[in-house]
Amino acid sequence: MTTTTAVPVTAKRVGPLTALQQTMTLAWRSLVQIKHNPWELLDLSIQPIMFLLLFTYVFGGAISGSTGDYLQFALPGLLVQNALFYTLSTAIGLNTDITKGVFDRLRSLPIARTAPLSGRVVADTFKQVWAFALLVGFGMILGFRVQTSVAGLLGALALLVVVALAMSWMSVLIGLKASSPEKVQMIAFSTMMPLTFTSSALVRPDTFPGWLKTWSDLNPVTHLADAIRGLLIGGAGDVTRSALVSLIWAAGFAVVFAPLAIRAFRSRV
């Protein structure tokens, strides 16, 4: 009679440094994909410029009486709108990778289980920086001027990236729960659109009805737009308070949605 002894297989745990390296490798994979899919870069570049031109030259005269004055007011708000809308790209890209089986192939590799998710988020953060630089640069060609300092410009970029990164966890959760990229776009767009257009990003909320102005004063996008506007052009009230409120909102989004997104990711892949 032959007896066999089971040999326990011990899974090799991935250390934090190795997990970070794998995250950056997969982030680089997402960025390199732009070379094979240049339409993604065009979408990232053309859409913000299109919104800037439309809002400045179509609505600027009617809202502010001068396209130049409206450009100074609206560009910080468009930076916020573009950053939040681009979190939809994170959700759509994540959902596409999952539905096409990309994550199944990555799961067979000896890598940290969360590296594909964190790699996608890191890559999209770099894209956020590109979109910010592009929109500010093109705005300057049209006549926008940073009226504070280089420190204010860098502070605006840092604040925008931090808040967008925190809010992207909500989009990640939608991307993991939805059954198709089309449903991701529908659900996420329906969430982001009311937030941005009922804030001070593009118009002054003083003209809102009372009930809508009350909501606008609570809206996290209002605080973020006011903070970015103050950091870039000044004269937007208490910039420190707006920035702190934005960071509190960001922490709240991260605390609520990050654990839910990670749990959904682990259960799906």
Q: Where are the domains of the chain?
A: 19-27+38-268
Give the tokens for residue 245.
């409120």
Q: What is the pLDDT of residue 248?
A: 96
Please name the helix (run of DSSP H) or strand (run of DSSP E) that holds residue 91, with its range, or none: helix 67-99
Rounded distance, CA 107 to CA 153, Å? 40
**Confidence category of residue 26, pLDDT binned at 50, 70, 90:** confident
Q: So what's the pLDDT on residue 179?
A: 79
**pLDDT confidence bin for 95, thresholds 50/70/90:** confident
Please check the confidence at residue 1 and state whether its pLDDT lies above 60: no
Residue 244 has a pLDDT of 95
At 212-261, the pLDDT tens digits run: 999 999 999 999 999 999 999 986 568 889 999 999 999 999 999 999 98
Q: How far apart are CA 152 and CA 76, in angstroms?
A: 12
Read off the pTM. 0.85
Q: Is 153 exposed, middle or buried (0-12, 13-18, 19+ CB in 10 A)?
A: middle
pLDDT averaged over every residue in the chain: 84
Apex CA 117: angle with CA 111 and CA 123, to 5°? 105
Average pLDDT over residues 26-31: 80
Tokens of 260: 């839910």
Average pLDDT over residues 183-191: 82
More reliable by pLDDT, 134 or 189: 134
Mean pLDDT of 121-144: 90
| 234 phi/psi in degrees, rounded to 5 | 70, 180
- Which pLDDT value is given to residue 4? 45
Quick one: average pLDDT of 145-169? 92
10 pLDDT higher than 60 = no
Confidence of residue 7 (pLDDT cuts 50, 70, 90): very low
Q: What is the mean pLDDT of residues 129-153?
A: 92
User: Band of the pLDDT at 14, cuts 50, 70, 90?
Assistant: low
> Based on the number of CB atoms within 10 Å of its own CB, is 229 exposed (0-12), middle (13-18) or buried (19 or more)?
buried
Lowest mean pLDDT segment, chosen from 60-64, 115-119, 128-132: 115-119
